[in-house]
């Protein structure tokens, strides 16, 4: 995988902030938010050599039903439009029985689910000219009678599909905390030599529920940055990207978050 450096999720609400980052080399866009033409600010980023990676949220790769052809076509069209060297999607489902959940839902970690994801990934790969990276999600519940640990489940899917891994360190942290596991042990169980790039995001705990939520609207906690540093001591991920999807802080605070990720990873800052 090409070295991507430190990036940020491009969102219309922060497009001017993103455009003003002098050392920026890659951004990620929600694939379903792109029509037939790139927004002007995204095109300007492309023109200055910034890589634009489409990130899918609605393919429902883990669904028992085949991914609809129109969604694959739109995803592949966005990949071509951005000229990206790769695209990404989640190991999750968002649709069942014709009903759209509107959220990424966790799969039962079974070999039947591995087969369902593999079949859908191959359908999507057939229309893509670039690699498809797969991202495990943060789950607030687990299904009963699961056969595999999370890292085993993900590794079997990667083995079956040949896909690289989009590792979300914040998801690893959230799942470990909510399952009462050691975040470092969970992190290092993943195939770290197969990472395409890394997501980093903020979250918060709800004491009354006893659950940590991967909100993307809170600052990145120190514990997640520590996990980034641990990851980068053990491997060299090609890129690390800050995800923020609401409650956008002032530019200085957002720049501080990007700097903190770069520092934790031992990478040059982009601000």
Condensed to tens digits (0 to 9), the pLDDT of residues 217-259 reads: 999 999 999 999 999 999 999 999 999 999 999 999 999 999 9
CA distance 241 to 239: 7
pLDDT at 140 exceeding the cut of 90: no
Instruction: Give me the mean pLDDT over the 55-72 stretch.
Output: 95
The closest alpha carbon to 213, from 162, 118, 137, belongs to: 137
pLDDT at 206 exceeding the cut of 90: no
Instruction: Give me the mean pLDDT over the 60-70 stretch.
Output: 94
| pLDDT value for 181 | 96
Virtual torsion, Cα 34, 40, 43, 45, nearest 10 deg: -110
Handedness of CA 68, 69, 73, 76 (dihedral sign): positive
Backbone angles phi, psi at 62, to 5 degrees: -90, 5
Using one digit for the tens of pLDDT, what is the confidence trace for 141-150?
899 989 999 9
Instruction: Give me the mean pLDDT over the 86-94 stretch.
Output: 97
Structure confidence at residue 209 as a pLDDT band (50, 70, 90): confident
pLDDT at 207 exceeding the cut of 80: no
The reported pTM is 0.96
SS3 228: helix
| pLDDT value for 100 | 84
Q: Containing H/E element for 226?
A: helix 222-234
Identify the residue whose tokens are 């039947």: 112
Q: Structural domains in the chain?
A: 5-265 (3.20.20.150)
CB 137 within 8 A of CB 92: yes
Backbone angles phi, psi at 237, to 5 degrees: -65, 140
Q: Which residues of 111-144 are buried (b: 16+ CB within 10 A; e: fewer)?
A: eebbebbbebbebbbeeeebbbbbbbbbbeeeee
CA distance 168 to 184: 13
SS3 209: coil
DSSP assignment letter at 61: T
pLDDT at 108 exceeding the cut of 90: yes
């Amino acid at each position: 995988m090409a070295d991507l450096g430190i990036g940020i999720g491009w969102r219309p609400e922060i497009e001017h902030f993103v455009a003003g980052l002098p050392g920026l080399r890659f951004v990620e866009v929600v694939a379903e938010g792109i029509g037939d033409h790139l927004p002007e600010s995204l095109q300007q980023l492309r023109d200055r050599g910034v890589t634009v990676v489409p990130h899918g949220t609605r393919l429902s790769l883990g669904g028992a039903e085949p991914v609809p052809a129109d969604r694959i076509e739109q995803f592949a069209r966005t990949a071509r439009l951005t000229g990206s060297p790769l695209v990404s999607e989640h190991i999750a489902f968002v649709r069942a029985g014709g009903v759209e959940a509107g959220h990424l839902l966790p799969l039962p970690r079974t070999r039947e689910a591995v087969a369902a994801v593999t079949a859908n990934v191959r359908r999507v790969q057939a229309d893509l000219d670039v690699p498809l990276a797969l991202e495990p999600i943060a789950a607030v519940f687990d299904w009963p009678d699961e056969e595999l640990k999370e890292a085993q489940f993900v590794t079997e899917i990667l083995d079956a599909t040949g896909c690289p891994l989009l590792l979300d360190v914040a998801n690893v942290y959230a799942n470990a905390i909510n399952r009462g596991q050691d975040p470092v042990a969970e992190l290092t169980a993943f195939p770290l030599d197969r990472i395409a790039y890394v997501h980093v995001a903020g979250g918060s705990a709800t004491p009354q529920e006893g659950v940590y939520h991967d909100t993307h609207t809170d600052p990145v906690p120190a514990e997640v940055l520590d996990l980034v540093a641990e990851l980068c001591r053990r491997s060299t991920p090609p890129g690390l990207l800050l995800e923020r999807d609401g409650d956008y802080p002032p530019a200085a605070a957002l720049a501080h978050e990007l700097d903190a990720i770069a520092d934790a990873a031992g990478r040059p800052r982009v601000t």
